[in-house]
Amino acid sequence: MENRKIFSNFFQAGGCELRIGVYESFETICIYLESDQSVSSDPDKNFWVRYRMAIMNQRNPAKTVRKESSICIKTWNNSVLQFMKISDMLEADAGFLVRDAVVFVCEILDCCPWFEFSDLEVLASEDGQDALTTDPDELIASEDSEGISGDEEDIFRNLLSRAGFHLTYGENPSQPQVTLRE
């Protein structure tokens, strides 16, 4: 690896241009995913990308080493995953190095727009009375909070709704899903 970074070609996933970066640090193989904002169709858009990186064991796929991480392409652009010692990867019968090739795989698990509440635009009425607040005390005390029990989930659901999102639970109640209302 000669103490330099090796990059894959860029590939597209969910409107993002991404590539894999690999390098050696303290005799350990490190892999990360990064984005190229310069080719984005909308450079102001931010995406959250959850992914699984792997070093394939070409002789015994059950011994493939996998790790998961995520990036937010504008805010925190690389999350380095430390995989294994270089010597373990290069071991002749380990199965990672076959015919002078090591295979790195990146599986995109989820890619969705990422919004900072400060970035959200809210269409306010002409009198300005409908401006969005993210202050929980103001939200609870506002006239719009009628019907809110004070329960944290209701407050969160109301805040999301006022920001243009919808909260659902689907089949798994422990994994809420937030979607942008159309």
**CA 21 – CA 12 distance, rounded (Å):** 15
Per-residue pLDDT, 117: 55
Q: What mean pLDDT is reported for the chain?
A: 75
- Residue 52 lies inside a defined structural domain of this protein: yes
Per-residue pLDDT, 155: 74
Burial code of 148-180, b = ≥16 C-beta within 10 A, e = fewer? eeeeeeebebbbbebbeeeeeeeeeeeeeeeee
Dihedral (Cα; 6, 11, 17, 21), 10-degree rounding:
-20
- Residue 156 lies inside a defined structural domain of this protein: yes
- Residue 139 lies inside a defined structural domain of this protein: yes
Among residues 113, 140, 156, the one where a domain terminates is 113
Among residues 75, 94, 113, the one where a domain terminates is 113
The answer to whether 92 and 99 have CB atoms below 8 angstroms apart is no
Instruction: For 78-103, write each residue's pLDDT tens digit.
Output: 578 889 999 999 998 999 999 999 99
- Residue 26 lies inside a defined structural domain of this protein: yes
**CA 108 – CA 55 distance, rounded (Å):** 15
Q: How many CB atoms are located within 10 Å of the residue 15 CB? A: 14
pLDDT tops 80 at residue 120: no
Instruction: For 24-60, write each residue's pLDDT tens digit.
Output: 989 999 999 888 766 555 666 778 888 999 999 999 9
Instruction: For 126-149, write each residue's pLDDT tens digit.
Output: 444 555 555 555 655 555 545 445
- Residue 118 lies inside a defined structural domain of this protein: no
Could you tell me if 69 and 158 lie in one domain? Answer: no
Could you tell me if 100 and 161 lie in one domain? Answer: no
Domain count, the chain: 2
Among residues 113, 138, 159, the one where a domain terminates is 113
Q: How far apart are the first and last CA of the chain?
A: 48
pTM recorded for the entire structure? 0.59
Could you tell me if 109 and 127 lie in one domain? Answer: no
Segment of 33-37, 54-58, 71-75, 112-116 carrying the highest mean pLDDT: 54-58
Q: Domain range spanning residue 90? A: 6-113
Give the burial class of 132: count Cβ atoms within 10 A of its Cβ; 0-12 exposed, 13-18 middle, 19 or more buried. Answer: middle
- Residue 23 lies inside a defined structural domain of this protein: yes
Could you tell me if 103 and 40 lie in one domain? Answer: yes
The answer to whether 84 and 65 have CB atoms below 8 angstroms apart is yes
